[in-house]
Structure 1
Amino acid sequence: MRRRIIHIPVVTALAVSALVGCSNNPQGESRTLTMFASTDAKSAYEPVIKAFEGANPGVKINVTWGSGNEFESTEATQLTSGSGPDLVDVLPGTGGNLITVGSLVKQGHLEDLSGTSWAAEIPDSLRSQTDINGKTYVLPGLLQPLGAFYNTQALQETGLRPPATWSELLKFCAKAKAGGKVPFSLGLSDQWVGQLVPYALAATLVYGPTPDWNAQLQAGKVTFPDSAWEQVFGKYLELQKAGCFSADPNGISFDNTLPPVAKGEAVAIVQVGGVFGQIQNLNKDARYQFQALPATDDAKATYIPASPGHGVGVNAKSLNKKLAIDFVNFMALPKNLNAMAKTVGGGVPAISNQEFQPAELLNPFNDLVAAGHVSPFPDTGWPNPQIQNAQLVGIQNLFLGKATPEQVLTAMQEALN
């Protein structure tokens, strides 16, 4: 799926600005908003929140930051119980977990935002991530790639360069280990991290050759077992056996995967672009390179997964709906989306504009976009969250030696059925 990142019309700033600075809330509405958001987005969101409060004297946004495995279930529980925040953290797509657009709309938790000016500017290639039945429910803040971030100094110390083919990747791991480095920092105690390497491989092995694979899955034409997904998990296990990852990754949290990369103790990490800013903040002097993770020996066949990360929606049952929508419109201004992208460092505005200039780090990503070698994150097109849950548990068991790739895929298929 080709995703256009440049030359998308700019959001109409005048129309949005008219909503900012004077909220004109209906009588009885509070001037305090509540928000539940992932700590992954904290560095990007906080400056926008402060700017909105400054532009609207008397307005306050109280944010509860969530992280780890409990984040999704906590937000979903709050919304179901009627105690949810005004501003909702939303993940893209129709399935895969509890707080995707599809899951939340199905339960009536999200307000229709189709009438906003920015909704019309969302690229068609992202509509499956933000819209349900032709209606827009979430502002997709940043489009983030999923690939490998390499510490440049660690590369130099080991005489390595980012691998472009599968064979080079295996040699890379062996040479990094021989040089006293962890090839790829990995921690699985926060379950969501376990899916990143398979998703990076699946872009090339599954969705590049068959872009509509998820649609075929739901139509019963393909299954997780007896498909290219067997190659995905087979190669994941091959990387593990080759010593490509941190020792005992099931005992390592997400937070503890970042410092080794920033210090150069690990050469690289496979992560989403939205996390890169956190790595940068740990060592301001470090420099990095970014590449798609290769899955075959044909470098020209490599694809990269990319999807909007955490987006912002409005609780359909909010008592401060007008003010909440004003904030989302404020966040959608090009200057704010661009500032968020600059803060994160590993993403680009999902609603692009002519003012944005991507960092040099992202040039390989932009090259793949230009070549049309981009696919969505797999779970954004899965029909239910149970599939992803089966995958995450299966990956932990895979690394413990308690499951085979075939057993993991069978459990995912059973979760579909």
Structure 2
Amino acid sequence: MFKKLGSTATAILLAASLLAGCASSSGGESSGSEAAGEPASQASGASEESAGGKVEVEFFNQKPEISEIIAWGIEQFQAANPDIIVKETVVADSDQVLMSRMAANDTPDTFVIWPNNSWFGMVDAGYVMDITGADFLGNVQEAALTPFLREGKNYVVPISYNTSGVFYNKDMYEENGLSIPSTWPEMLENCEKLKAAGITPFTTGAQTESHTREVTQCFLPMMPHYDAFIADANAGTLDLSKEYGPEMKRMGEILYSMVQNSQNDVIGLSYEQTFADFATGKSAMLIDGSWSFPSITAANPDINLGFFPIPGDTAEDTRACAYAGDFSVSIAADTGVPDAAKAWAGFLTGEEFATYYAEHDGSISCIKSCEYTPEHMTYQAEIIASGNYKLNPDVYWTSASSTAFGAAVQTLYMSGDLDAFTAEWVDVFNTNQNE
């Protein structure tokens, strides 16, 4: 799961940083005046040494749910690199804090980031190190690096994919003679069989617009003319007279049919409670992202999980929704400890850490040498490996568009008004995407 800042906020904070003058950068000495996009460089070698000959690298972690995994990684890394200390930083509102620190010329040495429109703004403004040619990038799948190139250069280290779709209780499916549906009509047939057995098909929580949007976006790649739709949505030029117009209304029908096959009061169910309810057998399915695996298994370590993509109206329209970069790391361009920062980033691409991460996070790895695929993700991983997937739709949406889209879906869940939802959906992007 990734977060984003609106383009306006990004521009303001990055512009503010250019006025910061001689502010001290993270881990380094104060720099002189800097031109836009040209942060002061820091020398490696002796300048990296702190008191006692040890070097400290800050790791700004925007994924607090993986802190236990990171703690294990830090222990292993420091055992092999006794002269480097990695200090993890976890704060509330981390995306806002990161931007504020950039504006103050205090960018963390290394930081978890989700490559999206805001991150490209950081790159263009010169706050992210160009790591093109770094040896450790050879450990990363080319398919995971390519989407985030900027003018052919690398600025991020993708460690894991996230993917959105359907978690399902394999025991409930097997006990009721169900198979993975290849179309949405087949999905509804499964729902009817589950209800006949006294089982609620879906747990759906839509208490917050952010979670509603995260769940809903993984439906969109099933649209037959998805590429044309997403191009116009990103450009803020949606037009219902185009070929994707009828598909937008159909999408509303599908979303509402999910609600009709969920527990009562989807608006009242919190993000956290969805995991507990699904994990403890209150439903057979939960639509969410792969990042939810630790929360589900924390509620019930013994649950027998499977995972499959949201099915389309036809088998040809059934595609995975995935994002190479759920756990990604960038390095500050002006870090005072470049060699140590690169050593830490390189460690994260190693087979040992990548395998441990995949095993404990339940994600699909971007690292070539990692042979582990979580058992529940085997089917989804095969689809992604085949190339039959689309990038998460909201990667290039502004925060305003994301928020408005989630709110529009919440309204649909409460009203069931498909025509109103379709019209509002157009307004969401044509009004907000270019702000």
Within 5 Å, which residues of 2 pair with 1:162-311?
162-206=180-224, 209-211=225-227, 214-215=230-231, 223=239, 227=244, 228-240=247-259, 243-296=260-313, 298-308=314-324, 309-311=326-328
State the match for 2:347 in structure 1: 330
Distance 1:62 1:406 in 2: 49
Tell me: CA distance 1:272–1:179, structure 2 relative to 1, closer, same or farther (3 Å).
same
Within 5 Å, which residues of 2 pair with 1:6-405?
26-27=47-48, 30-57=55-82, 59-65=84-90, 70-93=93-116, 95=117, 98=118, 101-120=119-138, 122-156=140-174, 160-206=178-224, 209-211=225-227, 214-215=230-231, 223=239, 227=244, 228-240=247-259, 243-296=260-313, 298-308=314-324, 309-345=326-362, 347-353=363-369, 356-369=371-384, 371-382=386-397, 384-401=398-415, 404-405=421-422
Tell me: CA distance 1:399–1:217, structure 2 relative to 1, closer, same or farther (3 Å).
closer
**How much has 1:371 moved relative to structure 2?**
4.3
**How much has 1:311 moved relative to structure 2?**
0.9
AA aligned to 2:391 is P
Larger deviation: 300-309 or 385-394? 385-394
Q: 1:408 aligns with which of 401, 425, 431?
A: 425
Distance 2:385 2:236 in 1: 32
- Calculate the TM-score normalised by the size of structure 1: 0.79
- What SS does the corresponding residue of 1:341 show, helix, strand or coil? helix
Larger deviation: 324-333 or 214-223? 214-223
**How much has 1:214 moved relative to structure 2?**
4.0
Tell me: CA distance 1:338–1:222, structure 2 relative to 1, closer, same or farther (3 Å).
same
**How much has 1:111 moved relative to structure 2?**
1.7
Distance 2:282 2:233 in 1: 41
- Report Cα offsets for 1:294-315 as digits up to 9, x if no partner: 121x224311111121311122
Contact 1:198 1:233 in 2 (8 A): no
- Structure 2: which 5+ residue stretches go unaligned? 1-43
**How much has 1:234 moved relative to structure 2?**
3.7
Contact 2:48 2:337 in 1 (8 A): no
AA aligned to 2:112 is D
**How much has 1:27 moved relative to structure 2?**
4.4
AA aligned to 1:232 is M
Tell me: CA distance 1:225–1:198, structure 2 relative to 1, closer, same or farther (3 Å).
farther
- Over the aligned positions, Cα root-mean-square deviation in angstroms equals 3.1
Larger deviation: 216-225 or 307-316? 216-225
- Structure 1: which 5+ residue stretches go unaligned? 1-22
- What SS does the corresponding residue of 1:397 show, helix, strand or coil? helix
Structure with greater contact order relative to length (CA < 8 Å, sep ≥ 6): 1
Distance 2:310 2:155 in 1: 32
Distance 1:193 1:157 in 2: 30
Distance 1:179 1:39 in 2: 39
- Calculate the TM-score normalised by the size of structure 2: 0.76
Larger Rg: 2
Distance 1:271 1:153 in 2: 19
